Amino acid sequence: MLSCILKVKPGLEIRTESDMVTAHRQAAFDKLLSMAPDSVRIRELAEQFNMTVPPKPDGCIRCRLCVRVCNDIIGARAIAMVKTQNRSQVGPGDGDCIGCGTCANLCPTQFITVQDQDNIRTVFTGDQILSCLPLEQCEACGTQYATAPFLSHVENSIKNLVHVGQGHKFCPECTRVMSSRTHTNEHFNE
């Protein structure tokens, strides 16, 4: 029975510590924390009553899409599931991040983010920095657009493709413009 609706009578005995009270208290805190997992006040209260408090959510749903794309598609092996005391979480892998941003593009919760600032690309997993890499400049427009390790990865990936132009560093916009000019010139020459 909820204490706020219990009518007080002479001889009423109230126990605030028992197995049943502890179980109900834990259930109440579990429910409150499921509704407001980041609430500092609820977490503090639960700890004061020696309740089990789950680790604070970090925004990652542990879908492992980032790990799979980094390991299996990109091949950088820069992201892994890392075991901590309380749980597994996304963290640095055995390889080096190339700053491609594929993991951030796939992350359904935006736990992994990429920030380009002052000609540096920083990849974050939550509030932890995974990598900081300088950005390379587009040869056509001067925009800082990709990291050297990423451009090297792309060059190595396409070196056996004869129909792909090599040796130039163009941002996606300049690549699009130049490819449309080339396509237009081919039709003009016909």
Q: How far apart are the first and last CA of the chain?
A: 87
| CA 134/CA 136 separation, integer angstroms | 7
Residues 39, 128 within the same domain: no
Which residues lie below 8 Å from residue 98, measured CB to CB, with a gap of 6+?
A: 74, 76, 78, 133, 147, 149, 150, 152, 153
Pair 102, 75: CB distance under 8 Å: no
Please report whether residue 10 resides in a domain. Answer: no
Report if residue 11 sits inside a domain. no
Residue 37 binned pLDDT confidence (cut-offs 50, 70, 90): confident
Is residue 142 located within the same domain as residue 168? yes
Last residue of a domain, one of 11, 32, 56: 56
* Tens of pLDDT, residues 60-119: 989 999 999 999 999 999 999 999 877 788 999 999 999 999 999 999 999 999 999 999
Answer whether residue 131 is part of any domain. Answer: yes
Q: Is residue 14 part of a domain?
A: no
Report the number of distinct structural domains present in the chain. 2
